[in-house]
Amino acid sequence: MNQFYIITNTIKDPELVVTNTIVEYLRQNGRNCTYCAEGGRTPSPKHRYTNPDSIPEGTECIIVLGGDGTLILSATDTIDRQIPLLGINLGTLGYLAEIDRTSIIDALDHLIADDYKIEHRMVLNGTVFREDQEIISDVALNDIVIRKDETQGMITVKNYVNDAYLNSYKADGIIISTPTGSTGYSLSVGGPIISPRAEMILMTPLAAHALNTRSIVLPGDETISVVIGPGRDNTTEHAAAYYDGDTKISMLTGDRIEIRRADQEALFVKINDDSFLETLSRKMSSF
């Protein structure tokens, strides 16, 4: 690789010490490297963390400094560019950002020597409809969560797979996740862990008010629709869809969200030869 772009979470690297170290090392080794001039988060209707138009043409790798949250938002913002990302973890626990502060130079040497692999990760696309009119469509690398908007309490959700009715229940909400997202929010509420190499969609209820309600694992080519039911006494319910815990789309009774596999995949640079299970075991043992 010869041309790099750095996205920095300036909360984790406020003085850009790590950022400048990487830039200088790559330039000393004859590589081109620029970094996000706005210093990280720049929310807009078109992107959540990084403006993909600011990434120079010819960029072969995006280096993301921060943690898994920074990496996830950067991946979805830049997904149309299809440039592989390398995550450098400047926080605590990280499943996606495999490189830490102590192994930065070694990782850069691997990139310079073209000694790496590209890992493909499934991404979800969620489109919200109101009276059959599309409100918004966005993507999520981890999950799309539908739950009651702001106030506590349960909502009624009706779930369909490929337009066929599956089930309905009252719950705090429902999580629709990728295999990547199976180690996130879904795991914390009892969902199973799925290898990121799998092509599946995971449905996990949030505190469903029903017996024997468990996660459901579906093939990756299925389309899931979640319809918001009425509130108590047939009132209008207020809910919301959250994409990767960031973008929030308000929903009302009768609204539906259609979730399917996105056309594009997220690309990640993998330096280490550790398997997913080895990484999972190491991260879990840190608790």
**Residue-range domain boundaries for the chain:** 3-122+265-284, 124-261
On the question of pLDDT at 152 being above 70, the answer is no
Query: 13 burial class (0-12, 13-18, 19+ CB within 10 angstroms)?
Result: buried
Q: What is the mean pLDDT of residues 63-84?
A: 94
Closest CA to 107 of 94, 88, 82: 88
Asked whether 35 and 6 are in contact (CB, 8 A), the reply is yes
Instruction: Please give the pLDDT value at position 246.
Output: 87
Residues paired with residue 86 on neighbouring β-strands, in sequence order: 63
Query: Residue 262 region, left (φ>0) first, then alpha (ψ -120 to 50), else beta?
Result: beta
Instruction: Please give the pLDDT value at position 41.
Output: 57
pLDDT by residue (tens digit) across 104-119? 999 999 999 999 999 9
For residues 106 and 136, give the distance between their C-alpha atoms in angstroms, rounded to a whole number.
42
Q: What is the mean pLDDT of residues 89-98?
A: 78
Superfamily of domain 124-261: Probable inorganic polyphosphate/atp-NAD kinase; domain 2 (2.60.200.30)
Q: In which residue are the tokens 């000694």 written?
A: 115
CATH architecture of the domain 3-122+265-284 equals 3-Layer(aba) Sandwich (3.40)
- Helix, coil or strand: residue 37: coil
- Fold agreement between 3-122+265-284 and 124-261: no
Q: What is the mean pLDDT of residues 75-82?
A: 95
The confidence band for 211, taking pLDDT boundaries of 50, 70 and 90, is low
Residues carrying an active site annotation: 68
Contacts for 204 with CB less than 8 Å, ≥ 6 apart = 174, 175, 177, 186, 189, 190, 191, 215
Instruction: Please give the pLDDT value at position 274.
Output: 67
Instruction: Please give the pLDDT value at position 213.
Output: 80
Residues paired with residue 228 on neighbouring β-strands, in sequence order: 157
For residues 127 and 58, give the distance between their C-alpha atoms in angstroms, rounded to a whole number.
31
The confidence band for 51, taking pLDDT boundaries of 50, 70 and 90, is confident
Q: How many CA atoms lie within 13 A of 96 on its CB side?
A: 32
The confidence band for 73, taking pLDDT boundaries of 50, 70 and 90, is very high
